[in-house]
Structure formats: C-alpha cells, structure tokens
Amino acid sequence: MTVTTQTTLANFASSYDSLTTQGEDQVLEITDTGTLEISKTLNNSISDDLTITATSLYNPASPSDPHVIFTSLASVFTIKLDSGGIRFKGLEFVSSSETVGILALDVYRPRYFEFDRCVLTGGYEIQIYPDWTANYRNTTVKNATGNGIYARSGAGTKTIEDCVIVGCNKSNSPYRGGIHGQDATLKNVVALNNGHADIREAPASSQHLATGDNTAVGTDTVTGVTSEDFTDFAGGIYTAKAGGKLAGSGLNGKDIGLNLAPLDSLVIASIPDISMHQRSNGGATLAISGDYETAIAPTAIEISVDSGSWEVLDEAPASNSFAGSITLQTGVHTVAVRVANQPTLTAQLSSVRVGDIYLTAISQSNHTNAYGTGSFTGPAGYCSEFTGGEWKDYETTPHTAYFPLLANRIANEQGVPTGYITVAQGSTTMAQWQEGEGLMNAALAAFNAATSAGAYNLSWIGEGDANANTPENTFKSQANAAIDYLHNQTGLKSIITLIPTPGPAGANIRQWFTDVVDSNPNAVQGPNMYGIQSGVHYQTQEETQAAADALYDVLYPPVESVLSINVGATMPNGSYKTVLLDSLNNIITADAIDYDSGAATVALPVLAGTSVTGFVIDNENPHTKGAVIVGATA
C-alpha cells in the first residue's frame, strides 16, 4: 500500500521527519513551487520506498514554468538506506559545490535511487557504487565538476535512458567525462561539451547514443552533435530540434534524449472518444479501462457521467492500469475519469452514444450515399456512421441514403440515438452476398469492429436480380442462405425492404421476398417502396423522406401486432399492471391490461413475430404477482 503525504516547501523537512508509517511505500508530494535551500539526510527507517515529487512537475520543454528547486552549498541530500530506495520525480537540484555531489551516498548500504524528469546542475559528481541500483530517466545533468554520471561496475543495475548530459567534467580530466558508464545500460542518451570525453566509458551494448565528439559507442550512434541540434541550447531547453541530428534518431523512431511524454497521464483505452453502443434494458453496460502514469500512486479511479457526481470506478488500481464498468441509459453522454487523490488528473470521452445500431448488409445502391437528398438536423450525436474503422457523425454531402432523415424522426420522436454500419454496395445481386463472398466478409468485419450487438440489419436488394432474370428458386435459396448466415454470425434479423422496380420482374422480386419473410424467422417484413418513389432510386428530398418514413413505420408502428396472454383462470378478473419486454429486454409497455379469466389480448407497437417476455404485478392479490408471460406477437 502507498501512503501519500502532502506538504509545502517550507514544511518539507518537518513533513519528512514526521513520516511515521513503517513498512509502507511513501509519497511526499510538494504542493507549491519555489526554491528551498536544504542539506538533509534521508533514510528509510520510516518507510520502505520513498518518492519525493511535486504537484507542479519540472517541464524540460519549458524550464521556466514554476516548479520545485532544491539548492545547497554542498550535497542537497545525503542518502542512507537500510532497505528500499528513494525516487525523485519532476524536481530540480542545484549545488554550488565543486567537491561533493548533489546526492551523497553511503557506500556501505547497497540500495537504489532514481531520477525521473529531473534536472541536476552543478556539484562534483554522483558516484553510483558497485552494489547500488540507480535509474536516470528523462533527466538532464549539467555543469558537474567531475563526471556527469559515474556508474561503477558491480552487482547493482544502472539504467540511463532518455537523458541529456551537458557541460560536465569542467576540470577536463582525462579520467572523466559526461558519462563514465562501465556496465550501465545506456539508451537514447546525448552528451555534449563534457571536457575530455562526452562518454568516457560505456558498454558496447549501448543503443542510440549521441555525442559532440566521436566517443559514442554501441549501435545506431550519432556523432558530431552541436548546440544547434537542440531546441534552445542557450535557453536551457535541451529537447531535440526538429530536423536536427537528434530528432527521430532514437529507439523506435523517437528523439535521442529527453522524451516529452507526460509524467502524469490518464488514458481511457477501452472506448474511443466517439462511440456507439447497442441499448438493451433501456441502456448499455460498458467496460471502462485504461492506463495511468503518475508520480503519486492512485488511491482509486473515479468516474463521472454527464458532469454528475464522482463515483468509484476502480477502488484498487495497480500496475499502471484501471478497470471497471458503468451503465448508461439511452442517449448521448460524456464520461470522465480521474485519479481520486489527484483530482485534476482526468481523462474524458466527449460523446458516448447508446441507442440502436443498424447494419446495411445484403443491400445495394439505395442503401449507399449515392442518390438521396437531406441531412440530419436532430440533436448532436444522435446520428452516427461507422466508416473508416471508427464511429463518426453521419456525413451527407453531396448525396445521402435516407438514414439521417430516419435518424431525425427517431431522435425527435423516440429520443434514441441511431448508428449505421454502412456496408451496402450498388449494382449487386443476391449471389454476391453469400457466405464466403467478399461483400459478406467485409460486412461482418465492419460489424465486429464496430459493435458486439445491434438492432437489425436493413436489407434493400433485388433490382440487380430483377434485371438479371434470376430464377425464383435460385433467388429464394440465396436470400434465405444470406439472411440465415448473417443472423448466425451477428444475431441480427434482416428487415426486408421491397424494391420499387416496376414491371413483372420487380413484382416477382417483391413476391419472392414476401414468401421468404413468411417462412424465415430471421427475416422481417419491411416497407414496400413500390409506388412510394417514382423510379428505382429515391432522389428528391421528398422521396428520401418518404423512404425514411416508410421504414420508421416498420420500426415504430403505432399498432403493428397483438399479443395473446393467458396466465391462468384462477386470477381474478380485473386490470393489472403488466411489464412486457422485447428480446433485448427493452420495455414495450408497463401499462395496466384488462384480464378476463387470466387471459388478455393487447396491441403492441412492435413488429409481428417479436418475442415477448414479461410479468404481471398485483399487490392486492399476491397469488398473481410475478406471473410470467412468454410469447410472440402476431
């Protein structure tokens, strides 16, 4: 367990002395900024591991930003450890001494220390003794009289990575340099203007070292570095200058030297900033997980929806990751997470959409953005399209399918966001949408990338088969196979729109599809477009709106089907509140229904053939409470 104590610079020494918890990791966080002259011995008789850090961390890209600076005429800290180690994160150290280092270490106590995103100026040198372990990461060491870093070989592990060493070995000793590395692990380190040698000694296994002379060793080294390769060398900004020798020359294509990734970061990784989710039970339960990098160990990760109150998402985050879940109701939401003990460290999702998702497989040109006219004018976030591997607001320029106009009605009249996985392909036939065909494979890949569930597949096809005179048996067989395979792979039933193609061929396709719907439980009767539009394609805004209205009436019929209920003749006649749910557990009705001898017939605004479950509530006659209803509408 990590225990965090906050203090000010003025109270730093006394706060350190007051740390009393034994056997715990400690964090001492300085909440203000400024300079403190100090020379103090640190030991861990009161803790295992200690991190000294600040709320306002040192920023190497803007070193004049307010931060914490420790100064001393001698060593800033003397470290005597019996166990564990000490970490310094986001701090600046300055020593005016030319005879002792910024840190004075007890040679007889082999432990470890670490600098992360720090800057060390002056002093003699910090000698890492053989059995000590030490880590320098994203740290600048400058103007030391002796070695910038002296890592003596021995059992301890020494790591120097993403660091800058400049202006050290001021005495120009032939026995010293910017880095005297011996067996240290060196990666992405740049050394410049360090007297006799920028790197006096380092293992041959070093990677991506850069020097002003020719002393760089290892693989992928860079020599001949000058002050012009830094962003502002004279101003103390030692980051890599764009176009210079250090830029992009490091490990995995990053810069050699300082890595400017935030010290403290919080990222939601499980859901992108804009996302669409299929509702069930009037909402959706979403996994929220991600990563963090903090100087101070989080006590918990909290979550807030729509700027509401903060609740605990993960009460025990560990190993730089967090996870939890949240249930969102139908609608468009913002979701934010924060570190409980660092409430300013947050991450946010700007548009998490919960509603109905429609796939557009087994479809041709009328389900592409090729002919229609119109745009979405409803609330922000209520019309989405999955394209290019991500959810986006639906784009309608220059033409559009009827989808955004359908979304307008659904948003305005039902309050439900709509998302479309647009995979239709113009001029296709039923044969091209069979199992194993490229169009079907692409549709399934898009569905799986976009969601794990949906409402329906919207199918509009047949014009190509009418033109090709596809035989009846062939068309029906292929239609059944495509609809069944899609349902098997996605769980989606297909709403079948009947084509507007005139003449006998068009009439045949409409009749054949009607026969398919009558015999296939995975097919649902959609609108008949014959007579709604003047040609094969809807083109005017009036025709596009008419197509949208026709499908809306299928999805949200005023009274489309009836359900016969019988819960037993022993139930007294009367009116009982009855809750009925569809297959996604969305509430169809929760109104009172009149029963006679335990039986009732109720009209419902759902498609015929909809699976319905439910129960009767009767507080006055407990023997009927909870009577289970299972059936399908007709």
Contact 524, 518 (CB under 8 A): no
Q: Tell how many helices (H) and how many strands (E) occur in the chain.
A: 7, 45
List the beta strands (DSSP E) in 503-598. Answer: 523-528, 561-566, 574-581, 587-589, 592-595
Q: How confident is the model at residue 313 (pLDDT cuts 50, 70, 90)?
A: very high
Q: How many CB atoms lie within 10 A of CB 371?
A: 21
pLDDT in tens, 230-270: 999 999 999 999 999 999 998 878 899 998 766 678 999 99
Mean local confidence (pLDDT), 292-299: 80
Per the omega criterion (within 30 degrees of 0), is the bond before 398 cis?
A: yes
CA geometry: angle 196, 199, 204, nearest 5 deg: 140
Residue 295 clears pLDDT 80, i.e. is over it: no
Task: In whole angstroms, give the CA distance from residue 600 to residue 544.
Answer: 40
Q: Give which of 308, 292, 163 is closest to 179, Cα–Cα.
A: 163
Residue 110 clears pLDDT 60, i.e. is over it: no
Residue 622 clears pLDDT 70, i.e. is over it: no
Residue 113 clears pLDDT 80, i.e. is over it: yes
Residue 2 clears pLDDT 80, i.e. is over it: no
Residue 415 to residues 421, 424, 469: CA-CA distances in angstroms? 20, 26, 43
Q: Give which of 517, 521, 524, 522 is closest to 560, Cα–Cα.
A: 524
Task: Indicate the average pLDDT of the chain.
Answer: 91
Q: How many CB atoms lie within 10 A of CB 124?
A: 21
**In a 3-state reduction of DSSP, which class is residue 544?**
helix
Torsion angle (degrees, nearest 10) of CA 366, 471, 490, 449: -50
Q: How confident is the model at residue 624 (pLDDT cuts 50, 70, 90)?
A: low
pLDDT in tens, 398-427: 889 999 999 999 999 999 999 999 999 999
The larger pLDDT score, comparing residue 131 to residue 492, is at 492
The residue ranges of every structural domain in the chain are 2-253, 265-352, 360-555, 561-632
Residue 47 clears pLDDT 60, i.e. is over it: no
Percent of the chain with pLDDT over 90: 68
- Are 2-253 and 265-352 in the same CATH fold? no
Report the run of H or E that residue 293 belongs to, with start and end.
strand 283-293
Task: In whole angstroms, give the CA distance from residue 83 to residue 110.
Answer: 8
Residue 614 to residues 141, 423, 565, 566, 569: CA-CA distances in angstroms? 71, 35, 10, 12, 18
pLDDT in tens, 529-566: 998 887 899 989 999 999 999 999 999 987 668 889 88
When mean pLDDT is compared over 100-114, 286-300, 380-394, the highest value belongs to 380-394
Q: Which two tokens stand for residue 326?
A: 């949240």
Q: What is the CATH number of domain 265-352?
A: 2.60.40
Report the run of H or E that residue 613 belongs to, with start and end.
strand 611-617
Q: What is the CATH number of domain 360-555?
A: 3.40.50.1110
pLDDT in tens, 149-181: 999 888 888 999 999 999 999 989 999 999 998
Class of domain 561-632: mainly beta
Residue reference for tokens 């990791």: 25
The predicted pLDDT at position 392 comes to 95
Q: Is 2-253 in CATH node 1.10.10? A: no
The predicted pLDDT at position 260 comes to 77
Task: In whole angstroms, give the CA distance from residue 215 to residue 278.
Answer: 60
Mean local confidence (pLDDT), 121-128: 92
DSSP 241: P
Task: Specify burial of residue 112 (Cβ count, 10 A radius: 0-12, 13-18, 19+).
Answer: buried
The runs of H, that is alpha helices, within 428-527 are: 438-450, 463-468, 472-490, 503-519
Residue 227 clears pLDDT 80, i.e. is over it: yes
User: Which residues, 6 or more positions from 615, have their beta carbon under 8 angstroms from its beta carbon?
Assistant: 578, 579, 626, 627, 628, 629
Q: Give which of 332, 337, 336 is closest to 317, Cα–Cα.
A: 337
Mean local confidence (pLDDT), 218-225: 94
